Structures are given as C-alpha cells and as structure tokens.
Amino acid sequence: MLKRRIIPCLDIKDGRTVKGINFINLRDAGDPVELAKEYARQGADELVFLDITATIENRKALAGLVERIAAEINIPFTVGGGIDTIEDVSILLKAGADKVTVNSSAVKRPELISEMAGEFGSQCVVVAIDTKLIDGEWIVFVNGGRTPVEYKTAAWARRVEELGAGEILLTSMNNDGTRSGFSIDITGEVSRSINIPVIASGGAGTMEHFSEVFFNTACSAALAASIFHFGEITIPDLKKYLHKENISVRL
C-alpha cells in the first residue's frame, strides 16, 4: 500500500496563521512562512495553505505569500481560497503551488472541476468538502463553513471524482478543532466510495487519533493544524509512533 501522508494545514487570515474550533473563535498561531519552513524541516509530506476568508471577502488567495512560502520549502504545497476561474489557478501554480483546492466555487459551478482538470491535469485538482452532521445526514457546507447546501457528502464526493478531481480534502466541521479525533464514519464512507485519495481533516488531538483513522478508513492522508502549530505533537515523533503501529509512512 502507498505510504500514508501527514499534512500540516496553515489556515491564513490577514497574513497570519490562525486556528479555531468548529470554524469559529480564531486565534493566532504564528507566521505562515516560518511554520512552513519548520514543517518541511520536520518531514511533513505535504502542506496545505487555506486563505480562509478569501471567499467571504470576495477576493483571491494571497499569491505573494504563496511565492514566499514556495521559495522556502521543497515538499508538495496545496493552496486554496477564493479560486473560481482557470486564471486564478494559473496564478497560484505560477506562484509555486503544486496543487490547488476549491470548495464553494466547485459547488456553485461544478464544471469548474472539469475545466481545471482539463487545463492542468487531475493531479493538481483537490476538492475540499466541509461537512457537518445534521439530523443524521452528513451535509456539505460552503462559504467557510457558514452555509449548508443541498448535497449529501458521499454523493458529492462521487460526483467530483467523476468531474475530474484528483483528491478530496474532507473536513468534519463537528470535529474541527475539538481534538476529539477524526470523524471515522464519514471519512470511512467517503474513502470507501471513491477511487481517488482522501485527506482526513478535523479533530486530531493525539497520535492515537492518526492511527485510528488510518486503521479504520481508507484515507490516504491525515491533516492537522493546532497540535502541530502549538508544538504538542511533532511530525517526527508522530511518524515514529505510526511506524511502530505498522502503518506505512515516509520516515
């Protein structure tokens, strides 16, 4: 089996890394360039950079900051926030991103996924799905987790695969920032129902949470933010733990 990936996430607001709980109550977590350099040094497999207020503020992701980060790291780097045209994607790839991620714009205009895949290849198209359990159903949310839409999560994941997405970043809003563990149920359902990689996101608090999601779902990667930003778990220690648990990771 392919090695499981560990991915720190940099949520960016006003040029700073921030982290909240259930998508609200944001607090400062440091300089994104310095954090990116440190994660690359520690052995992160990839980085995700999300300009979390770009869509709400009706602006584009910060290409200048992307350039600064890309100049300092040598690992794959995914960027999202405010992307809704092929030109937006081109700007970010030229700035140094390896992949781009779309969420609200893909829900609003699903053909954007096919356009991106056709122009740049599926390998650089990541569709982010923010999902919340409501009345027993996992529902897709857009606009930075503010607005529910009509799509059920697993069905939307299947559709974006058909449209040409190369990967899905699946965040459980119920678990986000709670450090209570990843959502095994929806991560398992989505990763079993599609053939493209799924990144599990939302809820990491301990090393055991990573082994649980890898043992109990078919996800390809696990993403976390605050436990890395605030130094509670280091990537080398996490990878050593996972290796001892017989989970294949890049050491």
Rounded mean pLDDT of the chain? Answer: 90
- The residues carrying an active-site annotation are 11, 130
Q: For residue 54, what pLDDT is reported?
A: 56
Domain at 5-244, CATH homologous superfamily: Aldolase class I (3.20.20.70)
- Say how far apart CA 27 and CA 41 lie, in whole Å: 24
User: Who wins on pLDDT, 1 or 207?
Assistant: 207
Distances (CA, A) of 164 to 115, 124, 187, 218: 9, 10, 20, 20
Q: Torsions phi, psi of 32, nearest 5?
A: -65, -35
Q: For residue 115, what pLDDT is reported?
A: 97
Average pLDDT over residues 128-141: 96
- Say how far apart CA 221 and CA 209 lie, in whole Å: 12
Q: Is the pLDDT of residue 86 over 80?
A: yes
| H-only helix segments in 96-152 | 104-108, 111-120
Distances (CA, A) of 227 to 7, 37, 111, 159: 12, 17, 36, 32
pLDDT tens for each residue of 147-205: 999 999 999 999 999 999 999 999 999 998 788 999 999 999 999 999 999 999 999 99
- Strand-pairing partners, residue 139, are 132, 152
Q: For residue 161, what pLDDT is reported?
A: 98
Residues 3, 221 contacting (CB under 8 angstroms): no
Confidence label for 99 from pLDDT (cuts 50, 70 and 90):
very high
pLDDT tens for each residue of 26-69: 555 568 888 899 999 999 999 999 886 655 555 565 788 889 99
- Say how far apart CA 39 and CA 34 lie, in whole Å: 9
Q: Kindly state the percentage of the chain with pLDDT values over 70.
A: 90
Quote the strand ranges of 52-201, DSSP E. Answer: 77-80, 99-102, 125-134, 137-142, 147-152, 167-172, 198-201
Q: Show me where the domains of the chain are located.
A: 5-244
pLDDT tens for each residue of 193-221: 999 999 999 999 999 999 999 999 999 99
